[in-house]
């Protein structure tokens, strides 16, 4: 497969997604419950994945792999996770977290011995880096690899001693990629080794109890006097840290794609339930409370998302599609008070190009606060079906003074307070002129929206699609 430079999948990757989704629906979903109870993924299913070419996208074709690209691996991760996180991570660890080490850094003999079986699913791989006191801080690992002297001066092998924790696939693995310290020189003193299951000195703990992903076998791995030959070294001695960190890039992408798959499946299940569930004589989806709940949950996350987009130089498009507000309802009042300020602040401080698109309805107060001075869009674009309506003074008061109103216990005092605030709002010339001052830069048909945004993005000053800007509070992965 060839990598795509578009924001959308090309036809080849779309077809691959359809193929993987079909496989998941036919082969994976029927065994999820059984796998969760058993605490491991079925060996037969992993072999089926191998036969379907799903475990070898990162392996050269000469060893039976598919020669796939990163986009294909991300698509695979997302689709597997839609059905089961446990089964997905089992396949992804063997195929895309452990096996790539052998494919990239192994000798010809190591590749020939291990890769064909791993690609076919006949063998399973695990990677043993994490320790009880060391996670992503790879340079801090303490497992030792001491040289074992032979008859000559050169080391005949290495004695591995240490404990690894939270090792996925440990109980079903045939091959382990193990990271150990060969010298005390921090990140320069780490070497990786290939250790086969059952090797003397390698012992497995009991399956760990987890909150989820029960179909993934996860255990402690103990190395106690585990002597391996010199040809078990994987890659360059002392370069294990660099090898691991380079492999982490694919690991992070696949795990992020798993999160996307989980979220997509949750959204599908939630919307299906809300559509089919009837309450008070109507579908649950028709009840306005969903808007308030989503607003409260998403505004805080939106602030983080905006900050990340700004850090990685990704343009922002704010879509207005608001069929109605629940101003006055407790759930929305809390969302407005607690979270909107974070989101507006993040939008105001973002330096990447920003655009506002009105799909159906945008209330003037929200549009003005979140898009005009706050969002600062390069352009405001509307579909022909869009409209901008002023928020009533009463609604504005309820939103702006919700906390104070809620603190007034006496009904008479509360009504008097609201009345005074209403008088102020109606006398505010800026508020009355608000709706008439809102204009859009272009009205386009839905089919032309993408082209319009691309054209305006191409003309945006001081921005080019390229490397991220490094913010001090963001660590690029």
Which amino acids are annotated catalytic?
251
Burial of 207 (0-12, 13-18, 19+ CB in 10 A): middle
Q: What is the largest CA-CA distance in the chain?
A: 97
3-state SS assignment for residue 474: coil
Per the CB < 8 A criterion, the answer to whether 204 and 153 are in contact is no
Tokens in use for 69? 């690209």
Tokens in use for 31? 């065994």
Per the CB < 8 A criterion, the answer to whether 160 and 145 are in contact is yes
Closest CA to 19 of 53, 44, 43: 53
Per the CB < 8 A criterion, the answer to whether 335 and 292 are in contact is yes
Angstrom distance (rounded) from CA 275 to CA 98: 42
CA distances to 113, 133, 165 from 216, rounded to whole Å, are: 25, 22, 14
CA distances to 168, 319, 378, 448 from 386, rounded to whole Å, are: 50, 11, 19, 15
Angle between helices 70-83 and 85-93 in degrees, nearest 10: 150
Closest CA to 34 of 80, 77, 87: 87
Tokens in use for 331? 């759930």
Per the CB < 8 A criterion, the answer to whether 290 and 274 are in contact is yes
Angstrom distance (rounded) from CA 350 to CA 315: 9
Question: Which stretch of DSSP H or E encloses residue 149?
Answer: strand 144-149
3-state SS assignment for residue 14: helix
Partners of 221 in the β-ladder: 164, 204
Give the Cβ contact number of residue 273 at 10 Å: 11
Partners of 146 in the β-ladder: 159
Per the CB < 8 A criterion, the answer to whether 380 and 440 are in contact is yes
Give the Cβ contact number of residue 433 at 10 Å: 10
Partners of 357 in the β-ladder: 319, 381
Partners of 317 in the β-ladder: 355
DSSP letter string, 406-442: HH--SHHHHHHHHHHHHHHHHH-HHHHHHHHH---SE
């Amino acid at each position: 497969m060839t990598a795509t430079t578009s924001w959308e999948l090309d036809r080849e990757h779309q077809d691959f997604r359809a193929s993987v989704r079909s496989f998941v629906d036919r082969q994976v979903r029927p065994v999820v419950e059984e796998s969760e109870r058993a605490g491991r993924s079925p060996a037969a299913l992993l072999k089926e994945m191998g036969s379907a070419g799903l475990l070898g996208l990162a392996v050269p074709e000469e060893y039976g792999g598919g020669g796939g690209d990163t986009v294909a691996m991300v698509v695979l991760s997302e689709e597997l996770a839609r059905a089961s996180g446990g089964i997905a991570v089992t396949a992804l660890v063997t195929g895309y977290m452990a096996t790539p080490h052998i494919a990239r850094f192994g000798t010809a003999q190591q590749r020939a011995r291990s890769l064909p079986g791993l690609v076919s699913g006949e063998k399973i791989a695990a990677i043993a880096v994490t320790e009880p006191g060391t996670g992503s801080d790879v340079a801090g690992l303490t497992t030792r690899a001491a040289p074992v002297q032979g008859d000559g001066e050169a080391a005949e092998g290495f004695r591995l001693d240490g404990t690894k924790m939270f090792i996925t696939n440990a109980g079903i693995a045939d091959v382990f990629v193990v990271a150990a310290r060969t010298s005390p020189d921090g990140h320069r003193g780490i070497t990786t080794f290939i250790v086969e299951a059952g090797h003397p000195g390698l012992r497995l703990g009991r399956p760990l109890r987890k909150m989820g992903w029960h179909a993934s076998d996860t255990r402690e791995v103990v190395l106690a006097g585990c002597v391996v030959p010199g040809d078990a070294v994987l890659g360059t001695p002392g370069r294990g840290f660099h090898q691991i960190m380079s492999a982490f890039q694919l690991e992070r992408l696949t795990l992020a794609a798993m999160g996307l798959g989980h979220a997509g499946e949750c959204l599908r299940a939630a919307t299906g339930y809300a559509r089919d569930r009837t309450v008070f004589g109507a579908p649950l989806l028709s009840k306005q409370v969903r808007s308030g709940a989503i607003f409260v949950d998403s505004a805080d996350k939106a602030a983080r998302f905006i900050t990340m987009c700004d850090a990685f130089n990704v343009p922002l498009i704010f879509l207005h599609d608001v069929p109605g507000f629940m101003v006055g309802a407790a759930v929305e009042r809390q969302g407005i008070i607690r979270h909107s300020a974070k989101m507006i602040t993040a939008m105001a401080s973002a330096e990447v190009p920003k655009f506002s698109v009105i799909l159906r309805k945008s209330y003037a107060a929200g549009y003005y606060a979140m898009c005009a001075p706050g969002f600062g869009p390069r352009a405001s674009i509307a579909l022909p079906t869009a409209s901008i309506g002023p928020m009533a003074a009463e609604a504005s008061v309820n939103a702006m003074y919700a906390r104070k109103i809620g603190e007034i216990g006496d009904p008479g005092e509360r009504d008097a307070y609201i009345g005074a605030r209403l008088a102020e709002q109606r006398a505010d010339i800026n508020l009355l002129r608000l709706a008439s001052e809102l204009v859009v830069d272009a009205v386009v048909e839905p089919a032309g929206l993408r082209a319009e945004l691309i054209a305006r993005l191409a003309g945006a000053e001081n921005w080019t699609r390229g490397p991220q800007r490094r913010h001090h509070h963001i660590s690029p992965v």
